[in-house]
Structure formats: C-alpha cells, structure tokens
Structure 1
C-alpha cells in the first residue's frame, strides 16, 4: 500500500475524473476515510476536476467529524461549507460540538466569517470552549480584533488556549498595550501561561520597553525549568535588547547551553541596534569559528551594525562573501542596508550605482535611505529625485517632505521650503510628532512634543525646573524649560 504522503502527492497530480475514482476506490477499503488529510485531498480533487456530486457523496460516506476537519483545511471559496452544513443538518449532527466547531472553522477558512458566526450562535448554548476558541480565532485571522475581544470577554469558560490566542493576536497586530492588559488579567485569574503566551508577552514587552514584566517572565521561565526552550530564551534576549538591557541580554546568551542561528542573529542585531558595531562583528566572527552558518537575516544584522558605526569597507566585504562564500542571494533588504551604509559614508555615487544594478524595483526603504543620505550630505538633486519616488510609493508620509525641506533650509532656499510646505498642506499632510515612552512602576507613559495632557505634567515640570536649576548652579547652559508655560507652548 502506498503511504499517506505518497497518496497526497498523487491526488494533487490527478488530471482526470476517472483517475480520481480509481484513487478513491483504492483508499476507502484501506482505511483512507479515517485520514483527515487524505479526505481533504479527495474533496479538493473532486471540486477541482470538477466532481462536486462526488464530493458530496464522499462526505456522506465518511464520519462527519472527519469530513468537517477535512473541510477546515481548505483555503479560499470552495463553496463546500454550505454543502457540509446542509448535510449535517439533514443527519441531525449540526449540534454535535466537534462537528459544529469544525464547520465554524471551515467557514472561517473560506473567508465566510459571518456564516461561521451564524453557526456559532446556533450552537454556542452547548458551552463548548472549542467552538468559542475557533470563532475567536476566525475573527483574529480576519483582522477583526474588536469582535474577537468582545467574544472573549463574554466567554462562559476560558482555557489557556483562549487567553493565548487573544494575547498573541494583540501582539501580532502591534497593539502591545492590549496584549499586556489581557496577560495581567490572565495572571489575576490564576491561569498559568503556556510557552506561546509567554512568547507573545515578551514581544509586547520589547515593543513597549516594559522591562519589569519581561523580567517576571524570565524568572517564570527559570522557575518552570524552561531554559531548554530555545525559542523562549531567544525571545528573552530580544526583549532585553529592545528594553535597553544589553548586559542582561548578553548574560542570557552566554548562559544558553544550546544556541540556534536565531540566537546568534538576535544578539548580533541587538548589538547593532545599540550602535555596538565592533561587538556585533566580534560575535559574528565567533559564530563562524564555531561553525554556525549565518543566514540572510544574520547578514542583515551585521550589515546594519557596520552601517551604524561607519565600517564601510567591512560592510562591503560581508556583502561580497554573503554571495561568494555562503551562496546567499541578496534580497531587497540587503541592498537597502548596503545603500544606507554607503549613503552614511558619503559614497553617494556608489549607492546610486547599486540601486541601478539591483535586480529588484527599489522600494520606499531604498529611496528613503537615499533621501536620508542626501539630507546628511546636502545633495539637493539626489534628495529631489528620491522624494519624487517616495511620493509615488508613500504619498501620505510627511517625514519624506520634512527631510527635503531640511535640505532646502540648510541651503537657505526659503522659497523652496515654502513651496514644499504648501505642497504638504495641499495634500492634507501634517508633520506627526515623534513619541517617546518610559516605564515607571510597571506603567508605560508616552510623551509627544507639545503634548500637555499628561495628568502628572505639573509634577514633571517641577522636577525639570529643579534639574535646570542644578545645571545652572554648576555653570552649564540651561537646556530645559523654565516653566509649565514653555512646555505647553513647545
């Protein structure tokens, strides 16, 4: 008998209805109807050829729980969900928890989330946590986090999968504050997180710079003896790096008995992020000595490190050996790093030549690197050329206009500055102020320029005034605001 994986390959290649019927006749007597992936492949082949009646007949022949699990593997609008639904209703199995959960998943997989919700509403009274989790997952995958969170909040019973899915969704969708809020609720309710939840929380901590919670997760991992989980340890390193605790990241790195290429790459990227280019290069060389082969992401990290500290020749060397020695084909991101490196070093002609030689169409990151280089070295012509491309690729990014405006201002071309500002106004663009954040007693506070809305603003200004007074007393120039009025006025 052919093994299941061989049959899967064969079913994907079938080109005629007759061959499909032969394969079906071969599989069913040999227990193929109990193999979810084989049933899924048979259903897909039946729809592709097309033999829709045969697909429906197949559903009738196999156990309902198997045919819904099979349907749940589908992607795209196969149209099989409604047929399965009608068959389950006819057979009186629609209220079966496993069958209804699989049907909900089938509808969600086909993009019919509203249909999935109707099935869920009809069967939710059973209180089966699996159906709730599947429906939440369907909302998450469709990008509707509001409904996912709303359903989660009214669940009669939650298990660790429920908590993990919601926390992970907020972390993946770059809403780290919400991810941490849900995790803290999870702690209050006494639910012990699993490894997947911890990965999501560490990611959120890194995005927000919440090192206190990140350290709690680290201690939890140590208490539960999860140090052999390389993915978790890698996430801890990444969290410490993003929170600015490079020393702790190095301690975790050095304490790991086993390291993956992701471990090495995360630490190299961490050094690069903090401008520690020489440390990044040293670690890369140590990695090579230990016969760990770098991948494309590792080279992105080392090229970035070289760029940040001006190691131009070394960056050129790494870009060369990536292709010649490691046989890694450069992607557009690698070219972006090289163009940024050359631009920072003032090698603008070489950078432009590299753009022309790229086998890819330059993206916004490429032109952005050239615009930044033009800004640094006062090359108006290159700046204007880069901006034209950026306006086409990122028409609503005000930062690009600001960079070119700064080039004009440094050359005292005030008419050009005025025209650029008028162009921004005509396009409805505003200069969005940058934001910074700080964690105090487990709470993250965010500040933006000219923002006087923080509830502790007066206390902050009192501290700033005291610092300013001390600076003056030792003979330095005052650089901090003298009063609350100055802060509010920007």
Structure 2
C-alpha cells in the first residue's frame, strides 16, 4: 500500500482513473492483494463507471477480510443498481454465506442460481454444498451431491470433509472408498477427518498407506499428534519427515514447537529456531508465538522474552504466551507489568489473558490486585469469568487465609464448581492447617470428582494432620469402593541428544533401566550422609495398599 499510493495519485492527476480497466485493477489490488478494504471502498465510491467486475471485486475483498455481512449487503446493492451478478460473484457470495451459516438464505440463493443456469457449474455446486454443510443441513448437501453424478475430486473431497465434521466417519469412509478419482488432498481430508473425530491411530494407519504424501499430509498428522498431547510421536514423525526429503514450512514448525513445549524438548526447540533463521522461513506471528511458548515452557523465560520483544507483530495469543510463561515462572510482578504494557498497546485482552494475570496475583500474594483484576474482566472488558478464573480466585483467597470468602465465592458461582476449584479450596485448608473441611466440600467432591484420587489423598492428608484417623480410614474405604487406584501414574521426562525419555512411577521399561536406578541409589547415599531426611507429610499412605 505504501508503494501503491503514489501510483494512485499519479493516475488521478493524469486522468487515467476514467479508464475502467485501470480503475478495476487498482481496486483489485487494494481489496484483494493489499487487503485494505477501507481504502478500496473509498476508491469504489469515487468511481463513476462501475461494472460487474468491480462489484465482484469488492464482494471478494469483504469475504477475504471476513466481513461476510458487508459482502452480502454489497451483493444486494449490486443487484438493486441494475448490475447482473456473474458466476464469480456467486462464488464469493456463497463463501460469505458459509461464514454466517443461514440455510434459509442459502435456499433463496439456490433458486436464483437455478434460474440463471449457474447451478450446473461444478464450482458453484461445490460452493453450494459447502454452504449447506456449514448450515448443518448435511441431508440437503448430500441430495445436491447425489443429484448430478460427477467425478470432480474437489466436490467429493468437500462431501467427505463435511461427513467427518459431523462425526459420520462411516459415511465419510464409504465415500472415500467409492471415489472414482483420488488425489493427495482426498487422503489428507481423511487423515484430518479421523483426527478431528479423535481417531488418531486410524488417521495414522491411513497416513502410512498413502501412495504419495505432500507437506500438508505430514503437517496434518504432526498437528493431530500435538493436539492429542502425543508430543513424542509428533517429534518422531517430524524426524521421519526430514528423512523423506519434505521441507517443512512455518505451519509445520509451529506444530513441532508445540510438541517441544509439551515435553520440554529444549534442544529440539533450539534447533528449530536455528533452522527457521537459517532457511529464512516466514517468521510470522504464529511461528513467533510458538517459539515464545516453547522457550517459556522449557524453562528459558529470558530467551522467551527476547523472542517476544523481537517479534515485529504480536496478537493476543503472543501476549498470552508471554504472560502465561512469566506467571508460570513465578514472576508475578513482571507479568502484571507486561499486562499494563499490553493494555497500553491498545490490544484487548481475552479470557486466557486473565488466567495468566490472576495466576500472577496468586504468586505475589496480592489479594487486592486479584480482586481488582477479577472485577475488571466483566466491568471493563465484558468478559464473563469462566471456571478457570474462579479457580484462580479461590486459590488466591485460600492461600491468604480467607477461606470463608473463598467458600462464598464458590457458593455464588454461576457455574458448577469442578475438581480444580475444590482442589484449590482443599489446598487452602492444607496450607492453613484447617481440618474443618465441611460437608459442602465433601458433597462437591463426591458429585464432581468421584474418581479423582488426588483430591481424596489431599483430603486424607488434611484429616491426618489433625489426627482424625477415623476420617482418614473413611477416605481410604471410599477410594477403594470407587476404584480410585491412581490410574494415571506420575511421569517425568528428560531430553538427551534431542531424544525425549519418559519415566513413570516404578517404570522398568526403559532400556537403561538398571543404570538409571543404580545412579539414583548412588545419589541417595551421599544425600543421607549430608543429613537429608525426606518429608513424607504429603504422602501419608500409598493408595495401592
């Protein structure tokens, strides 16, 4: 746009703006390439010799910046001024309707397309099927699909993706099996569909038998593992991708960085950072945010700050990653200072932002600041507090000894308290040495967390600290009856030479298991000599007894 404006000025001075071809190309640049729809609208209003192409360009521009209502308004304005829409106009209008699903409007548009003869165009039919799928009318979409048999692979792919989006994996697989032609996008749609439905292993089996894989195939599978918290498998697949000769892009790298963040694979994360710089990959806001998140979650908070400060552009996710990272490292004052900087930048916070802010208030033990920020959410930013925010406030109040206020907050919550909220209250009881837990806590736990061993162990510890051994035994029996056996064992991980090794409680599966336990034994003996005595106050008994 900076280069365009002097050219625009020259065209105005020379009178070439009267040439409809020149005017339409200028408009197309602003609305589509330059993505400056306001400037394009200003130009459009000053063009006298408008044509259908210019109207279509404006509709396309509004769709591209996700202003579908304005695009549809322009479509009706175009018709009211006597301009007849063409096939391309309808393609963008259908795209607008897919962004604001309305089946009634789609039916009206269907009639218009039929009347003008555009219905039989395969691009139009594909767009119309997509609109019906977005409207939730999968039956109408299937009727359109079945009405005129086609071997157009794009239409088949759209229908397959639509079935997956509604969880109908059986119909999607049947369509895939019946396809007259397939391309790599067809396979990618199936991998993505199974992943979205939670069938990651099925998606991987499809991925493994693909006759040809492209960058999207690898990226979709890696992203699916990351979103399913299967970071180790994501990193292994990324290494396979490198061996296959496929060059990753920024999207792939952002997913791999998320995997690194999940397991603290710092060496791999640093390698990716160096790879991005060396290969001059587009360092957009998403990749930058992923780097910040990875460094913060891997313990390198100062490096995360350096990356954050060097980002040319930041969105709310970037700020949230940095705020959350600082809060996670106990740097509450720095978190609040950064939040003030975020406010000064003019960017509005969201609900995730306030989780980090309230966590920071908890770390510095500031009840007043916590209350103030909690009140600001709804009063200043129109953000309704969620269960996470109430959990933070209960923790802030409880750790400061304000247990009665914490109880009142839970009682007046507009949503049912969950296990996190009750856990925060139990932690407060433990810290304050208060053994008068109360019946409402017991009832809440029985209702919300019948199988959560952690809360019952904590509750048992509270009773034991007050020598209420009868209550301790009652807790033990209750856990036995509910089958609470510590189903999820404790896990730790360590990265060595870019390989992440995971260890579970009493784990003997690691190939170097013997060496690991021998080293633990060698470390334990000098500790005992130095006078180290373990503190068993939080492990009063083994649930498995």
User: Matches of 1:403 and 1:389 in 2, distance apart?
Assistant: 15
- Aligned position for 1:207: 262
User: Does the alignment pair 1:232 with 2:287?
Assistant: yes
Which deviates the most, 381-390 or 164-173? Answer: 381-390
- Aligned position for 1:484: none
Q: Is the 8 A contact 2:422 2:445 kept in 1?
A: yes
The alpha-carbon deviation at position 105 of structure 1 amounts to: 2.8
User: Does the alignment pair 1:452 with 2:508?
Assistant: yes
- Aligned position for 2:168: 112
User: Matches of 1:355 and 1:219 in 2, distance apart?
Assistant: 47
How is 1:267-286 mapped onto 2 (pairs within 5 angstroms)?
A: 267-286=322-341
User: What is the SS of the residue equivalent to 2:437?
Assistant: helix
The alpha-carbon deviation at position 353 of structure 1 amounts to: 2.2
CA gap 1:132/1:69 in 2 versus in 1, 3 angstroms:
farther
- Aligned position for 2:40: none
User: Matches of 1:71 and 1:292 in 2, distance apart?
Assistant: 37
Q: Is the 8 A contact 1:136 1:152 kept in 2?
A: yes
Where structure 1 has 5 or more consecutive residues not aligned to the other structure, the ranges are 14-22, 481-488
Q: Is the 8 A contact 1:164 1:196 kept in 2?
A: yes
How is 1:376-455 mapped onto 2 (pairs within 5 angstroms)?
A: 376-382=431-437, 384-432=439-487, 433-455=489-511
- Aligned position for 2:130: 72
CA gap 1:25/1:149 in 2 versus in 1, 3 angstroms:
farther
User: Does the alignment pair 1:316 with 2:316?
Assistant: no
How is 1:90-129 mapped onto 2 (pairs within 5 angstroms)?
A: 93=150, 95-123=151-179, 126-129=181-184
The alpha-carbon deviation at position 99 of structure 1 amounts to: 3.1
Q: Is the 8 A contact 1:129 1:158 kept in 2?
A: yes
Say which of 462, 468, 473 aligns to 2:524: 468
User: Matches of 2:210 and 2:82 in 1, distance apart?
Assistant: 41
User: Matches of 2:418 and 2:117 in 1, distance apart?
Assistant: 48
Q: Is the 8 A contact 1:367 1:386 kept in 2?
A: yes
CA gap 1:407/1:204 in 2 versus in 1, 3 angstroms:
same
Say which of 91, 99, 121 aligns to 1:63: 121
User: What is the SS of the residue equivalent to 1:401?
Assistant: helix
The alpha-carbon deviation at position 206 of structure 1 amounts to: 0.6
CA gap 1:414/1:215 in 2 versus in 1, 3 angstroms:
same
1:412-470 CA distances to partner (integer Å, 9 max, x unpaired)? Answer: 22221112111111112212432221112222222233333333222123322333344
CA gap 1:454/1:352 in 2 versus in 1, 3 angstroms:
same
User: What is the SS of the residue equivalent to 1:225?
Assistant: coil
The alpha-carbon deviation at position 343 of structure 1 amounts to: 0.7
Q: Is the 8 A contact 2:235 2:256 kept in 1?
A: yes
How many residue pairs are counted as aligned between the two chains? 468
The alpha-carbon deviation at position 12 of structure 1 amounts to: 10
Which deviates the most, 344-353 or 308-317? Answer: 308-317
1:342-380 CA distances to partner (integer Å, 9 max, x unpaired)? Answer: 111111012122223434343333222212212322334
CA gap 1:28/1:129 in 2 versus in 1, 3 angstroms:
farther
1:48-95 CA distances to partner (integer Å, 9 max, x unpaired)? Answer: 879999999999833123313431341435313442343333xxx2x3
User: Does the alignment pair 1:368 with 2:428?
Assistant: no
Q: CA RMSD in A?
A: 3.8
User: Matches of 1:204 and 1:283 in 2, distance apart?
Assistant: 26
User: Matches of 1:339 and 1:132 in 2, distance apart?
Assistant: 48
Instruction: Compute the TM-score of the two structures, normalised by the length of structure 1.
Output: 0.83
Q: Is the 8 A contact 1:108 1:116 kept in 2?
A: yes
User: Does the alignment pair 1:306 with 2:361?
Assistant: yes
Q: Is the 8 A contact 1:367 1:390 kept in 2?
A: yes
CA gap 1:267/1:456 in 2 versus in 1, 3 angstroms:
same
The alpha-carbon deviation at position 46 of structure 1 amounts to: 6.0
Where structure 2 has 5 or more consecutive residues not aligned to the other structure, the ranges are 1-51, 536-543
Instruction: Compute the TM-score of the two structures, normalised by the length of structure 2.
Output: 0.75
Q: Is the 8 A contact 1:306 1:341 kept in 2?
A: yes
The alpha-carbon deviation at position 239 of structure 1 amounts to: 0.6
